[in-house]
């Protein structure tokens, strides 16, 4: 199976698990986003790397990065949700155009180095 097909399968699997978890409120708080993303990532056996809010005003959004798998099989995901509410977007970091996507692999590498040093 080629990597692009695997990415699409992973994205759709995670998106399906999120369908029932999307918050009903118009404005999504940081805690609500953390709950939605945490439940979805746990459902697919992933690990949350980090979450943050980026932008301001109408363009502000919650962003989270996660990884699934270990070592060379590890894949990085980016999950985004507008603060004003809407659909949660799930994509692999490799396919994402969001500037935050580039941080995911670097952050995971940093965490690996910290674990090795501990």
pTM: 0.73
Span of 19-28, 81-90, 92-101, 102-111 with lowest mean pLDDT: 19-28
Q: Give the pLDDT confidence score for residue 3 in this predicted structure.
A: 61
pLDDT digits (tens, 9 = 90+) for 69-80: 887 788 999 999
Contacts of 28 (CB under 8 A, 6+ apart): 62, 81, 82, 83, 84, 85
pLDDT digits (tens, 9 = 90+) for 25-44: 578 899 999 998 998 898 88
Of 14 and 98, more confident = 98
Contact of 24 with 32, CB cutoff 8 Å: no
Q: Give the pLDDT confidence score for residue 4 in this predicted structure.
A: 58
How confident is residue 52, by pLDDT bands cut at 50, 70 and 90? very high
Instruction: Say how far apart CA 118 and CA 98 lie, in whole Å.
Output: 32
Using alpha carbons, select from 67, 62, 66 the residue that is nearest to residue 23: 62
């Amino acid at each position: 199976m080629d990597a692009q097909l695997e990415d699409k399968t992973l994205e759709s699997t995670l998106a399906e698990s999120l369908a029932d978890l999307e918050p009903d409120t118009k404005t999504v708080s940081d805690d609500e986003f953390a709950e939605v993303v945490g439940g979805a990532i746990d459902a697919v056996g992933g690990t949350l790397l980090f979450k943050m809010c980026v932008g301001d005003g109408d363009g502000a959004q919650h962003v989270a990065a996660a990884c699934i798998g270990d070592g060379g099989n590890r894949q990085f995901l980016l999950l985004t949700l507008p603060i004003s509410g809407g659909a949660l977007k799930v994509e692999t970091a490799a396919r994402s155009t969001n500037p935050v996507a580039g941080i995911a692999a670097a952050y995971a590498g940093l965490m690996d180095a910290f674990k090795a040093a501990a």
